[in-house]
Amino acid sequence: MSNEKILVTQPLLPPLEEFIPYLEKIWESKWLTNNGQFHQQLEQALCEYLGVKHISLFSNGTLALITALQALRITGEVITTPFSFVATTHALWWNNIKPVFADIEPHTYNLDPEKVEAAITPNTTAIMPVHVYGNPCKLEAFQQIADTYNLKLIYDAAHAFGVEVNGQSVLNFGDLSVLSFHATKVFNTFEGGAIVCHDEKMKRHIDDLKNFGFRGETTVIAPGINAKMNELQAAFGLLQLTYIDEAREKRKQIAETYREELAGIKGIHCLNDLPDTKHAYSYFPILVEEQEYGMSRDELYAKLKENNIFSRRYFYPLISNFPTYRGLTSANKDNLPVANDIAEKVLCLPIYNKLQQSHIERIITLIKADISY
């Protein structure tokens, strides 16, 4: 068996020669950024592909998150999950908003609506859940809480490209949803991101904010930022859209193979697909129960690494355990027992469209090795 290095992910890269005509057009037009032709085309193409009304492209997902909070003028406290990539909480911090962590559900690893409701104070202004690994949050429950307490609802949908529940995009829920198109994501524009919103007025406001707050040549409506997607990124996104369905299908097959192969192993648990859901298969997380499996998550991680397989412990450490945040009352481990438990046991196995059957077999063989039953 080859010992080729296998990373947790590999970006979706269409054939290079197919990108050249896009580059030629950019050179011809001499229009490199600031709402160019490819930017406009990609916004429209993504609205159609994702089934959403309005989308504003960004240079990355983190700036899109920061801008989404600005667009809704969020202040005070926002209830969010500790089980995510640090950018989720950093976006609050950069806006001078106090993050309040609530615990997650044991079977989806998403923010638990009941725990959110219990964490609401007079200072709470919004809820920011994450569709972790692309698994949809409890959409109706969150909307009900937001409506009851008059809170804004912003979804970090960085992992949820193309995810649908009952034929409806998850991006159509909440006030705003934020996507990431980073190289490691299902759909990438090298770096990139987007905000999905539901009305023209909000889209215009977001577009102004990402361009220094300019509306027209001489008017600045707010202290905006520079978070625009450039033409190279947008052109790459357009090309990539022609390959996305094939790549998503490949990811689905890989996830199914992993599930079948890992099914009989004591102490290794996979996340199941949720009913009526079209998944993104952005990540393939497993939980390693040390007592049953006979090896800890970190030991398995190290063993795979020794064998040139680079799985990742997304999301360990928990955001609430990083020095910046661990002083917050809500970061206390007693407040977040499920999240702390999952973060100690989770391991994301490689998944990407070019991952081959032989690669999967190598990974499975290593996970199965030394098991005596």
| Nearer of residues 191 and 293 to ligand T4K, judged by Cβ | 191
Task: Annotate each residue in 150-189 with x if it binds ligand T4K (CB under 6 A) or - if it does not, as one string.
Answer: ------x-xx--------------------x-xxx-----
Could you tell me which of 287, 281, 271 has the C-alpha nearest to residue 342?
287
Is 111 a residue that touches ligand T4K (CB under 6 A)?
Answer: no
For the bound state, the minimum distance from the C-beta of residue 8 to ligand T4K, rounded and expressed in Å, comes to 5
For the bound state, the minimum distance from the C-beta of residue 129 to ligand T4K, rounded and expressed in Å, comes to 10
Task: Write out the two tokens for 88.
Answer: 């989720």
Question: Residues 275, 183, 339, 293: is their CA dihedral positive or negative?
Answer: positive
| Nearer of residues 68 and 202 to ligand T4K, judged by Cβ | 68
Contact between 125 and 75 (Cβ < 8 Å): yes
For the bound state, the minimum distance from the C-beta of residue 372 to ligand T4K, rounded and expressed in Å, comes to 32
| Nearer of residues 293 and 314 to ligand T4K, judged by Cβ | 314
| Nearer of residues 67 and 125 to ligand T4K, judged by Cβ | 67
For the bound state, the minimum distance from the C-beta of residue 78 to ligand T4K, rounded and expressed in Å, comes to 14
Please report, for residues 4, 126, 137, 150, the alpha-carbon distance to residue 116 in angstroms, rounded to integers and kept in the order given: 45, 10, 12, 14
Contact between 238 and 231 (Cβ < 8 Å): no
For the bound state, the minimum distance from the C-beta of residue 305 to ligand T4K, rounded and expressed in Å, comes to 11
Q: CB nearest ligand T4K: which residue?
A: 61
Could you tell me which of 33, 279, 337 has the C-alpha nearest to residue 132?
279
The number of residues that bind ligand T4K (CB under 6 A) is 23
The one-character DSSP state at 55 is E
Burial class (CB in 10 A: 0-12, 13-18, 19+), 167: exposed
For the bound state, the minimum distance from the C-beta of residue 87 to ligand T4K, rounded and expressed in Å, comes to 4
Find the binding residues for ligand T4K in span 129-148 (CB under 6 A). 130
* Alpha helices, DSSP H, located in the chain: 20-29, 37-50, 61-71, 87-93, 113-119, 139-149, 200-209, 231-241, 244-262, 290-293, 297-306, 337-345, 357-368
Find the binding residues for ligand T4K in span 26-85 (CB under 6 A). 60-62, 84-85
Q: Which of 19, 49, 212, 310 binds ligand T4K (CB under 6 A)?
A: 310
Residues of this chain that interact with ligand T4K (CB under 6 A) are 7-11, 60-62, 84-85, 87-88, 130, 156, 158-159, 180, 182-184, 193, 310, 314
